[in-house]
Amino acid sequence: MSDVSTPEGVEPEHDHEHHHDHEGPGYATPQAAIEESEREKLAYVMSLYVGTDVDAPDFVSVVDLDPDSDTYCEIVDRIELPNRGDELHHFGWNACSSSCHMEGLERRHLIVPGQRSSRIHVIDAADRRNPELETVIEPEEVFEHDLSAPHTVHCIPDGKILISMLGDADGELPGGFLELNDDFEIEGRWEPPGEIEMNYDYWYQPRQNVMVSSEWAAPKTYYPGFDLEDVEAGNYGQRLHFWDWEDGTVEQTIDLGEEGLIPLEVRFLHTPESTHGFVGAALSSNVFHFWRDDDAGEYRAEKVIDFESREHDDWDMPVPALPTDILISMDDRYLFGSNWLHGEVWMYDVSDPSNPRRADSLSVGGTFGEIQEVQGRELAAGPQMVQLSLDGERLYWTTSLFSSWDEQFYPEEGERGSVMLKADVDPRKGTMELDEDFLVDWGECPEGPARAHEIRWPDGDCTSDVWQ
């Protein structure tokens, strides 16, 4: 069903959707998101049993984040999916602030893909605390468009949904993009075939008529785990693609070279007037700043943050930091991220995007983390997916990257389960402090320890909403 109305008798538990002058979902501006939002009281977290000893389907966790609640820091509901082996990874909403002009459209449905299965689930979250599975798009419908391995889900203007796809129907290259309509039916391939080979994350800036996409590898390359020979063979990405948003065609490609190996999460600044953004090059352990050079009429990219590799007795090579996730605060002042192998969450002041200034960091979990347990719970992996409160005062993170990569680098993650941790952030001072009273433990799930990946808030967050 389309999200242009609410069934009789259902009262959506939206915190803010009707608090502003516009009629559609989300917020009129990024500043409105900061000023009008209430503190996040629930989180949805991708949770999975793929690669563990538990023979059960993956699920979406509903986590209580209300400090005044009796179930604070607990998983209060689980939306179990009908099949095993999906590998839940990234997910997103059917609508966001890019459609705030659409009267009657609601941010109501979560689009939940299976990375390994290519199955796409639609979850009705009208009841924010007790969402329900509504429908499933089976893999065969996806394969008809010669695409597989869904990754990033963004709501795009006019109620449509765009999903980055990392492979073809056989798990090889090229990847592409799959478009769904507001009834959650496959419209088809968004771009003409052959525009790109590798794909991964993307972000769009409609006022600038631009989209940027990054690269990982073919699913058949990264599914089994990481093999250095694949890097040497050129099987991992190192490029950014800049698209004409209206036409769905690549206008420019930037090769980041050896300093930009495996560019993963990519973000434009939130202000719709900006052409500045950042991408984390995971394997090279760098962050690049990109922007449009108006004089040259094209985009530029420059390395602005470099995380040095570190020696470790158990490794026969220096350990890369592996910055696997980044996000930008809603006021565009801070860039946050995680170094999964080193065990670090960090924040940089990017008021001047071309000259980031390190503000603070926390050494938690991972290979070198100074803090290796919270509330007596040993941490089995480093910080991975991060999410920030809309007011920029609370940073949360989980610890699973991808099941086969978890097994390779942190095998105890599958045995003990993931955790979700939190830091209190002072944006005025540019500091973070670990909240040692906060711990959500997927090791205590009823059917056995589970992994936890991406985090979303019920009413928008720093990695879902885009403005026109």
**pLDDT (0 to 100) of residue 452:** 98
Q: In what order do the strands lie in the sheet with 148-156?
A: 148-156, 160-167, 176-180, 186-189
Bond from prior residue into 192 cis (ω within 30 degrees of 0): no
Q: Rounded distance, CA 376 to CA 155, Å?
A: 40
Take residue 70 and report the two structure tokens written for it.
Answer: 């009796």
Per residue of the chain (468 residues), what is the pLDDT tens digit?
445 443 333 333 333 343 445 678 899 999 999 999 999 999 999 999 999 999 999 999 999 999 999 999 999 999 999 999 999 999 999 999 888 878 889 999 999 999 999 999 999 999 999 999 999 999 999 999 999 999 999 999 888 999 999 999 999 999 999 999 999 999 999 999 999 999 999 999 999 999 999 999 999 999 999 999 999 999 999 999 999 999 999 999 999 999 999 999 999 999 999 999 999 999 999 999 999 999 999 999 999 999 999 999 999 999 999 999 999 999 999 999 999 999 999 999 999 999 999 999 999 999 999 999 999 999 999 999 999 999 999 999 999 999 999 999 999 999 999 999 999 999 999 999 999 999 999 999 999 999 999 999 999 999 999 999
User: Nearest CA to 109 among 87, 86, 127, 89?
Assistant: 127
Residues counted in the chain? 468
Domains and CATH numbers, the chain: 30-456 (2.130.10.10)
**pLDDT (0 to 100) of residue 22:** 64
**pLDDT (0 to 100) of residue 25:** 87
Run of H or E including 162: strand 160-167
Which residues, listed in sequence order, are joined to residue 240 by a DSSP beta bridge?
A: 254
Query: Are the CB atoms for 77 and 131 separated by under 8 Å?
Result: yes
Maximum CA extent, the chain: 63
Using a cut of 0.85, tell me whether the model's pTM lies above it. yes
Run of H or E including 35: helix 30-36
**pLDDT (0 to 100) of residue 102:** 81
Alpha-helical regions (H) of 53-153: 139-143
Q: Rounded distance, CA 75 to CA 61, Å?
A: 6
**pLDDT (0 to 100) of residue 266:** 98
**pLDDT (0 to 100) of residue 322:** 98
Residue type, position 390, single letter? L
**pLDDT (0 to 100) of residue 13:** 39
**pLDDT (0 to 100) of residue 3:** 56
Q: Rounded distance, CA 268 to CA 327, Å?
A: 9
Query: Are the CB atoms for 427 and 359 separated by under 8 Å?
Result: no
Q: Rounded distance, CA 291 to CA 279, Å?
A: 11
Q: Rounded distance, CA 43 to CA 85, Å?
A: 23
Query: Are the CB atoms for 134 and 64 separated by under 8 Å?
Result: no
**pLDDT (0 to 100) of residue 231:** 97
